[in-house]
Amino acid sequence: MVTKFPVLALLLLTVGAVLTFSGCASNQHSDQPMLGQRVGAYVDDSYLTSAVKTKLLGDIALKSFDIHVVTKAGVVTLSGTLPNTDLRDEAIRTAKSVGGVKGIIAEIKISNH
């Protein structure tokens, strides 16, 4: 048991050093975004989509309707069909209330059926 501690400590130090120095890569000579920047944008859009869907499902007036949510570059597109403009406006307000949403594109149709 005593001999395992130095090996574990060395392993943790090695992993820490690798993680520390791998974040120092530079992208000064390229117009392409670094991989982490592209992945970060994707994660942010996925998070926003999930957060908007969660808020819409948490709204008692909207939760029974099928509202589609797609996010690209922080702009949320809402689509589907609702029975009136009041519900459409509430869906838009709900989506706008999510932190990080840069804009809303409302493609929600109104149907009296």
Q: What is the CATH number of the domain that holds 110?
A: 3.30.1340.30
Residue 63 lies in a domain: yes
Global pTM exceeds 0.75: no
Q: Which range marks the domain in which residue 56 is found? A: 44-113
Tens-digit pLDDT profile for residues 32-54: 544 444 555 555 899 999 999 99
Please list, in sequence order, all residues whose beta carbon lies within 8 angstroms of the beta carbon of residue 49, skipping any fewer than 6 positions away.
69, 70, 71, 76
- Domain assignment of residue 98, yes or no: yes
Number of domains in the chain: 1
Q: Would the pLDDT of 102 be above 60?
A: yes
Using only the alpha carbons of the chain, give its radius of gyration. Answer: 23
Half-sphere exposure for 110 (CA within 13 Å, toward CB): 7
